[in-house]
Structure 1
Amino acid sequence: MSSAGNQFVTILEDIEHLSTKNCSARKPQGVVLHYTAGSDKSSVDWLTKSEESSVSAHYLIKGDGSIAQIVQDGMRAWHGGRGSWKGFSDVNSFSLGVEIVNWGYDGEHVPETVDRSSCVTLSGSSHSWFPFPEEQFQGIAKLLVDFKERWHIQPSLFIGHSDIAPGRKVDPGPLFPWERLYKEFGIGAWVDDLERELRFVELPQEGKEILWTQLRLSDYGYGCPLTGDLDKETQTVIQAFQMHFRPSLIDGKSDAGTRLILAHLVDLYCYGS
């Protein structure tokens, strides 16, 4: 028996082949959100027609909120690249990839004809970011609710490309509506009450703040060094965390506000029920 180029069929010829009905496609465990940094047309071409890009995604959400499926849920799309989450380096193997048509930030890649009047500059960020229009938000919510109901995705496994690849990637950007998705549709992880009692996590002792932050980021899922120093890599991971959970200030510093949000997230989603 020959595999005929199919790596999912063994090339061994001296084995018995049986079959069973007791099997199914593999179940997605997480969702990674991206922006395309392009227009509707360029995004479709990039994801479906460019063999050189070696990029694909399970779904594309266009500017008007319409949704296109490109890769079946049970298949492995090529969207994550180098990165990790919760210790797993092959994020593509357990996640669904969703690309969202959005220019990201105002830069050389954005044509002069694109309207920049709605762009937002956030404290600590050197970029001016494009928001996600209402009709597109509704499309995002519709698809993510479907994932939650069909695949029972856990809250901390709705993540951004920047979460799995801090520094290398910044999408879906600090204007992605994580908080609104949580509050209106119960999608993803968020902290509503920063005054709630911490049950499982203690805030750091004075002088131990950096190592505590590194450990808690690792607990939550980020790939973070455990040096005890606020080195460049640690700052980059903190910035990724802030883009997701505290976009009002993205400075890469382990300040008290960042640590409090992190403590509650770990308490709720890593140790809580």
Structure 2
Amino acid sequence: MSLLTPDSPLAQKVVPSPNQGERKGGRRPDILLVHYTGMRDAASALARLADPLAEVSCHYVVLENGRILQMVPEAARAWHAGASVWAGETDINSASIGIELVNPGHDGGYPDFPDAQVEATIRLGLDITSRWRIPAHRVLAHSDVSPGRKVDPGEKFPWESLHAAGLGHWTSPAPLGDGRSFGPGEEGQPIQALQAMLAMYGYGLDISGVFDPRTEAVVAAFQRHFRPALVDGVADASTITTLRDLIRSRPEPAA
């Protein structure tokens, strides 16, 4: 499919990807999902995202210098989320608009995201969320919807800066320190309460009362986004307090 006019006025070029389809059931996007490309450079990432054999794509790519490229129309279903879940939704591709930031990722040295790239992501994200009325708490990381399977955009991504500019949900992380913590293998009511809070926020997690590998992966995903000072999958006092503060500060859905 070729595009003549970008959806966002901020897109500087259209690089069409064939890897797209219709949003299932006419689903309206209400999630903005942020990724990193995890490839050596922009050329490699763009080639893969446009390769029909790769069967992956996204709506927008943000280069290190802040240039924004569009690959799939916003009304279409790009193939960027893979096996994912959020707030009971399992077809995240139909529910979201995906932005890929060019960055080689954890396996490629994981450099900091340049200021120009972050600023462009903020402008693009504000434009998208305004036009589609996407709530702040549904501006998410790929790792949020695919814990244990994906880690992007990772703990270096400046979510706090996005929030300061009006994009995304955030609360100041509780400081690291002493206190009761919960980890793999533990069972009981405190674990059940932790799982219930994570599920309440949106993470795909069964409330079993057992701190199993899935719970560890979800806790690590939460830390990577909201408490990045230490990502270890252990639910310490800082993690639990930050989670509670996020739940309390999340706006109630409109009636």
Offset, 1:270: 6.0
Q: How far does residue 192 in structure 1 lie from its aligned partner after superposition? A: 4.1
Shift of 1:151: 1.4
Query: 1:213 pairs with 183, 194, 202, which one?
Result: 194
Per-residue CA deviations over 1:245-266 (Å, capped at 9, x if unaligned) read 0000111111111111111111
Deviation at residue 225 of structure 1 after TM alignment:
2.4
Q: Does 1:263 align with 2:244?
A: yes
2: CA distance between counterparts of 1:47 and 1:227?
Answer: 38
For residues 150 and 26 of structure 1, the distance between their equivalents in structure 2, rounded to whole angstroms, comes to 15
Out of 44, 49, 52, the residue aligned to residue 47 of structure 1 is 49
| Alignment-derived partner of residue 178 in structure 2 | none
CA RMSD of aligned residues (A): 2.1
Tell me how far 1:148 sits from its aligned partner: 2.2
For the residues of structure 1 that align with 2:34 and 2:120, how far apart are their CA atoms? Answer: 13
Paired position in structure 1 for 2:71:
70
**Does the Cα contact within 8 Å between 1:61 and 1:100 map onto a contact in 2?**
yes
**1:219–1:270 contact (8 Å) kept in structure 2:** no
Contact 1:36–1:103 (CA<8 Å) still a contact in 2?
yes
Q: What letter is aligned with 2:151?
A: V
Q: Does 1:138 align with 2:139?
A: no
The aligned length equals 218
The residue number in structure 2 matching 1:58 is 59
Specify every segment of 5 or more residues in structure 1 that has no aligned partner in the other structure, as ranges: 1-6, 9-24, 111-115, 117-128, 195-206
Q: Quick one: which of 194, 210, 221 aligns to 1:240?
A: 221
Letter in 1 for 2:221: A
2:191 corresponds to 1:191: no
Mapping 1:171-186, distance limit 5 Å: 171-183=152-164, 185-186=165-166
TM-score, normalised with respect to structure 2 = 0.80
Deviation of the 1:208 alpha carbon: 3.1
Kept in 2: contact 1:220–1:270 (CA 8 A): no
**Map 1:58-207 → 2, pairs under 5 A:** 58-105=59-106, 107=107, 110=108, 129-183=110-164, 185-192=165-172
2:33 corresponding residue in structure 1: 32
Q: Taking every aligned residue pair, what percent have the same amino acid on both sides?
A: 39
Separation of aligned partners in 2, 1:193 and 1:267: 14
C-alpha distance in structure 2 between counterparts of 1:181 and 1:214, whole Å: 27
Q: Secondary structure at the match of 1:159?
A: strand
TM-score normalized with structure 1 length:
0.75
Q: Which amino acid aligns with 1:263?
A: R
Distance 2:172 2:240 in 1: 15
2:173–2:242 contact (8 Å) kept in structure 1: no
1:44 counterpart letter in structure 2: L
Q: Is the CA contact (8 Å cut-off) linking 1:34 and 1:97 kept in structure 2? A: yes
In 1, Cα distance between equivalents of 2:166 and 2:197: 23
Larger Rg: 1
For the residues of structure 2 that align with 1:143 and 1:134, how far apart are their CA atoms?
14
Q: Which structure 2 segments of 5+ residues have no match?
A: 1-20, 175-187
Distance 1:222 1:94 in 2: 15
2:74/2:97 contact within 8 Å kept:
yes
Question: Judging changes above 3 Å, is the alpha-carbon distance between structure 1 residues 267 and 252 closer, same or farther for their aligned structure 2 residues?
Answer: same
- Contact conserved, 2:48 with 2:56, CA < 8 A, in 1? yes
The one-letter amino acid paired with 1:186 is: G
CA contact (8 A) 1:160 1:171 kept: yes
Shift of 1:271: 4.6
Cα distance in 2 for partners of 1:148, 1:270 equals: 16
Contact 2:173 2:226 in 1 (8 A): no
- Which letter does structure 2 place at the counterpart of 1:66? R
